[in-house]
Every structure is written in structure tokens, then in C-alpha cells.
Structure 1
Amino acid sequence: MTGQTPEQRHAIATMARVLGPDTLTAVQRLYRADQEERAALTRRVAVDQAYGEHSRQRLDVYAPGSGPSDESAAARPVLLWVHGGGFVRGEKASPDHPFNAHVGHWVARLGLIGVVMNYRLLPEAAWPSGGDDVAAAVNWIGRHITDWGGDPARIVVAGTSAGATHVATYLQNATLPASVRGAILLSGLYGGVPLEPRDTAYLGVDARITPFGIASCGLPMFLACAEFDPVRFQDDTMTLAAAVRTQRGDWPLMAVVGGHNHFSLACHLGGTDNSLAELLRPFLYEICLTPIGDVS
């Protein structure tokens, strides 16, 4: 297992728990070259597929290999990735950096099909629009993913920060199809801690998302936050974990990932530093029941 370099850990520790665009830019700088190099090992096979009528309701699809797809291969499980961005920004792919697209490439290197989605943003769309968009993307996967070698009966939904809140909203509000096998939630807000003004613009003053509502979905979950996350993200992760424990009798799989902050928790995923990826690989194997490839 390859972890952070001492230089990366020092840089992230120096950033501490501060959020904001400057911190995000600094984190992306730490991992950019590594993620760009690894992106060349897999393919984006579909771009800007419409899963709804809004211009933000678009997604991209990633598949293993750098050459033509093998139509004789068995259908592969699918992981849907929902980016963060504080409910006001974010993109599934950018010409300026490899991030969010990097998760699609990482998933493809594992031998799965990666789907990375955009969703509607503030001020146009408030809660529960993000959860509704996740539901629509899952429905699109069910109808179309076989065109790119995916198995519509084996879907994992995953998100970070605002994206994790959207996935959690989906888990709480939707009637989940049997095809959705599990969820990965990284440093989201789940209705278990006091909200800040930046959150109430999307979630409302009286948040209708709740840890027990999310836990009641019954899906296997992997919950994670970062050592240098703002405390409220750590607390809400633990509150959701406790709700799962109360409802089901067992703790969900979870981790506080050392040496990382709110942004690097997702930005390092699948890179040379595989601190989180190595924890996720057995979870994905268990719920997909398929060999999961090398994260290197």
C-alpha cells in the first residue's frame, strides 16, 4: 500500500481545516500530475449523455482499457460518482484539471464502468433537486449502460461533500431499485449537525434530510471523512454511522482517512496515494461480487 508522501502530508496539515477555492486549488496542485498520468490508462467512452432535460443533467461514461471495447466481455458493475462544490459549483470534467473525471478513470482501472454526473445547482435548484438528479442518473444507467458494457443490475452510488449529500438524499427519498447495491459517502452533510448559512441556502433552515432517514434505506454503506475535515463533517459522518448502528444493529464500514482534508479525500482517490482506494476495494468486491482490479 502506498500512502502520502511526507511533503503531501505536511502541505495538507498546513492547510488545516480551511475550506475555499484557494485550498481546493492548492490540493489539486498536489495531485494533478499523478491523476493526469493515470487518466491515459482508461477511456472516456461517452460524453454529455442527457439523463434529463436541464443542461446540467449530463453525464460521462468511462470504461477499462485504452483501445476498443471487448463486446464479448461480461457486463461490468457500475459506479456513479457525484462531485462536490458547495451546492453552487463543480463539474464532471474540465479542460483545466483532471478532477472528478479522475474518479471515472480510477473506477475503470478497477475493471468497472465509471459514470460521472453533473447536477443542477443553486440558485436555480434547492433541496431535494440533487437527490432527484441522482435518481434520474440511476434510471439512465438502468436503461442505457449496457451500450458500454455495464451491468444495470449492479450499481454503486458515491459522492463527496455536496455530492455525498445528494446521494444521501437519494437514499432517503427514493424508492431504490434492487440494482442499487451500495453507497459510498465522503464528507457530506446528513442533517445531524447544525447548519451554516452556506448550507441553508440549499438545504433550508429546517433540513428535511436526517441520519435516520438515510439509514433506513438498508443499503450497505461505506462512510468516510478526513483527519483535517471541518469538525461538522466529521460529526455528521459519525452521526450517520450511529443511526445505521441503531437501526441495523451493526456499524457500517467507515474510516477517518489520516493525512487528508475535505478536498484531498476525493482528489487523491485512485492515485499513487491509495489510502482511501485500498479501503474501498474490498467494499466494492463484497457488494459487486466481482474481481476488483489493481488500484495502482
Structure 2
Amino acid sequence: MQSPELRRDIVALGSTLGPSVIETLQQLFDNEQQALVRSTPAHASNIAYGDHERHTLDIYTPKDSDDKLLPVVLFVHGGGFLKGDKGSDQHWHNSNVGRLCAANGVIGVVINYRLAPEYTWPAGGEDVASAVSWLKHNISNYGGDADKLVLVGTSAGAVHLSTYLKLHPNTGDVRGLVLLSGLYGYTPLDERDTLYYGDQSDYEERKPRDVISATTLPLFVCCAEFDPPRFQAEFTGLLQERLERHQALPRANLLTGHNHYSMAMHLGTSDTRLADEILAFVHDVCL
């Protein structure tokens, strides 16, 4: 559970976005995340999955496992399409998701991808597809089951997973998607996001709303209590359209006591509420 002191500190940050919020959260989670770094180092780092210098991935594996191949989680970081990094042993942000998986008997993979404004839509979805292809051909060498692959993305990373599905709507390569605080096309395009998507007319054709609302691939959709209103509107818009199309909601979670950044940054700490839900989803869709 989340401690009252931590909730107080996150509540004080409100729904504001920006580097100062990330810095504060890094300080709040640093002790626990540094312990996770020490206990769960990367098994392999900076492996190329494509031709670009940012086409690299890190692999985190459980310490003890038998000969049985394990489910695989691929994590795609956020950064507003413009920045972000998969992390490392020196910088735990984002790498903590791979470590969390490894600490719980699952292969964790964390990638970098090409960034805007140099690389625009659909570069993120294409990079996810390249990483998936690499995993399908190689992850068994690291103890992973290529037929039990789940994709997890936060913020822009969730958008890139959605774009991957838009590019490959009938994919049989993945078992499910976990979408954390993403943008799917239920609110107007923000000016900042035009650096990736183009203008509003481009966005109407490129946004992933249609495929995410229609897919029969298992979804787990999350939003934070202190996400900015736009992200909350995207979350509720997707849930409403999923209900209308399928007469059922997907798995979903409104994570109390967290904001847009802490949604992913806290994974691997003693607040296991979201981690437990993600791991349960992974195991259920990989049966």
C-alpha cells in the first residue's frame, strides 16, 4: 500500500507536468529503486534491435528459473514524443519496470526508440514493431517465450503501442497491451504533439482511437488520480467507447495517490497495487 506520507507528497504536486515534478519523484522513490537496482541488474544491455542508434534494448531476467521459458514484458517509456530513455544501472527511471518484471518471474525488456521532431508519426509504432520482431526471433536465447509477449507503455509509450496496433491490427505476435496514461484520440491535439503527429487534419487520420476501441486483443488501461484532465478524458473516453462497442469494459484501473509520472516511476516499490494488477494481467493472458 501507499504510505500516507508518500500520498501527501504526491498530492502536493497536483497534476502539474515538468522536469521539477520528475526530480521530486526521483527523490521520493530513490531509496527503494536503488535497492531494486542492486538486487536486479540488467542481464544484457544496449542490444541493437534495428539500424538507428536509439534502436537499443536492455533485458532483465529472474535470478532463479528452471528450463521453462518465461513470459516476456516489453516496456516502452514516455517523454512526450521528444525525449526519454530506457534507463540503466546508473539511472533507474524506466529500467525499474524491467527490474520489477524480473523480480517477479517474468522477462523484462525496456527499449529506446526514435524521437520527434526528427522522427515523426508513425516512427514510434514502427520501432515497437521492430522490437517485437527482434524478440520473436531472439528472446528464447535469454529464457523468454516468444509466444507469450505482453507490451506495456506509459504516456507517449502507450501511444506508440497503440500506433503499433494501428499498423498491425491483426497481429498475432503479442498477447495483450497495458496502456498507462496514454492519448488515443478522444481530445483535441495539443500544440506540443504536432511535432510528432503533424497538424489536426493529420491527427484525424493518424490517431489510434479506432483500432484501440475496436481490437479484441486483451487490454489493461490505466490512469492516475492526479493525471492532467486531458489524460483522464482520454481514459474515460476509451472506456466509454469500449463499452459501447463490446458491451463490456476492458480491465481498467484509476490509480489513487499517483500522478502522470509516478504511474510508472513507482513500479518496483512497496506500493504494489498497480504492479500486482499488471503481473496478474500478464499471467492471465499468457496462460
TM range (shorter): over 0.9
1:270 is displaced (CA, Å) by: 2.2
Aligned partner of 1:280 among 270, 278, 281: 278
Match of 1:14 in 2: 12
Aligned partner of 1:171 among 165, 173, 176: 165
Same amino acid, percent of matched pairs? 43
Distance 1:152 1:211 in 2: 27
Using structure 1 for the length normalisation, give the TM-score: 0.92
Larger helix fraction of residues: 2
Aligned partner of 1:157 among 139, 151, 170: 151
Which whole-Å deviations, capped at 9, do the CAs of 1:126-179 have from their partners, x for residues lacking one?
A: 111101100110000001001100000010001001111111111222145423
Match of 2:76 in 1: 82
Contact 1:80 1:155 in 2 (8 A): yes
Work out the number of aligned pairs and report it.
283
In structure 2, the CA distance between the partners of 1:111 and 1:98, relative to structure 1 (3 Å rule), is same
The residue correspondences of 1:147-296 to structure 2 (distance < 5 A) are: 147-206=141-200, 207=203, 208-289=206-287
Distance 1:80 1:115 in 2: 5
Task: Extract structure 1 runs of 4+ deviating beyond 6 A.
Answer: none
Contact 2:132 2:173 in 1 (8 A): no
Contact 2:165 2:171 in 1 (8 A): no
Distance 2:236 2:210 in 1: 12
Q: Secondary structure at the match of 2:175?
A: strand
Give 5+ residue unaligned stretches, structure 1.
290-296
Distance 1:260 1:58 in 2: 29
Report the more deviating stretch, 149-158 or 39-48: 39-48
Distance 1:239 1:199 in 2: 19
Give 5+ residue unaligned stretches, structure 2.
none
One-letter code aligned to 1:111? G
Q: Does 1:59 align with 2:93?
A: no
The residue correspondences of 1:123-162 to structure 2 (distance < 5 A) are: 123-162=117-156
One-letter code aligned to 1:226? A
Match of 2:44 in 1: 46
The RMSD of aligned alpha carbons is: 1.5
